[in-house]
Every structure is written in C-alpha cells, then in structure tokens.
Amino acid sequence: MKITDVKVRKFCDEGPMKAVVSVTFDDCLAVHDIKVIYARDRYFIVMPSRKNPDGTYRDIVHPINSEFRGRLEQTVIDAYQVQLVAAEQDAYDTDSDDAVII
C-alpha cells in the first residue's frame, strides 16, 4: 500500500498536538484526523479514535504491523515539517508585503 498524499488540515500552536492531517492511500482511500504530537522531545502520530461509554478511547483505524506504522509515522512527520516550513514562509512573505520601507 502506497501513501500517495499527506495534507495538514490544521496547525496547532498550543500544547503537544501540533497538527491534524489527512492521509491518502493508493489515491483511493483517505484517513482523516491523524494527529501529529510532540512530547518527550520527539514527534509521533495518534490515529483517529472515538470515545467509548466508559471514557476510554479506541482507534477507529490503525496500522496492523510495526513496519507500516513506522513508515506511516515517518511520512506524516516529514510532510508536516515540510508544510510547516512552507506555512511559516507564506506568513513571512505576507508580513513582508505589508512592510513599508522608509
């Protein structure tokens, strides 16, 4: 299964959650609401989940083996970092356009 697209849907500045992403597989299946987390000096992903009646959470979708999880996690984190730099550059370019040079 190939990961064909990763889109950052939302960047988060506060707390350990840094982004919410959608991942497309084989150009035919999308998984939404994967979270990028930064905690304990490292990035990792959290799969979409739902809250059970007892207050615990259960993943709705998840990788079956550690090899694919590692590949998915690295691809998502790499895409997050690339899109973060692009978003920061866009913000800088927008701010620079408004600057008045005297």
Which one, of 18, 40, 2, 34, lies nearest residue 84 by Cα? Answer: 18
**pTM (predicted TM-score):** 0.84
Query: For residue 96, which amino acid is it?
Result: S
pLDDT band at 92; cut points 50, 70, 90 = confident
Q: Report the CATH superfamily, name and number, of domain 3-97.
A: Stage V sporulation protein G (3.30.1120.40)
pLDDT tens-digit map of 19-72? 999 999 999 999 999 999 999 999 999 999 999 999 999 999 999 999 999 999
Query: In whole angstroms, what is the distance from residue 8 CA to residue 35 CA?
Result: 10
Which one, of 5, 88, 80, 83, lies nearest residue 43 by Cα? Answer: 80
CA atoms within 13 Å, Cβ hemisphere of 84: 14
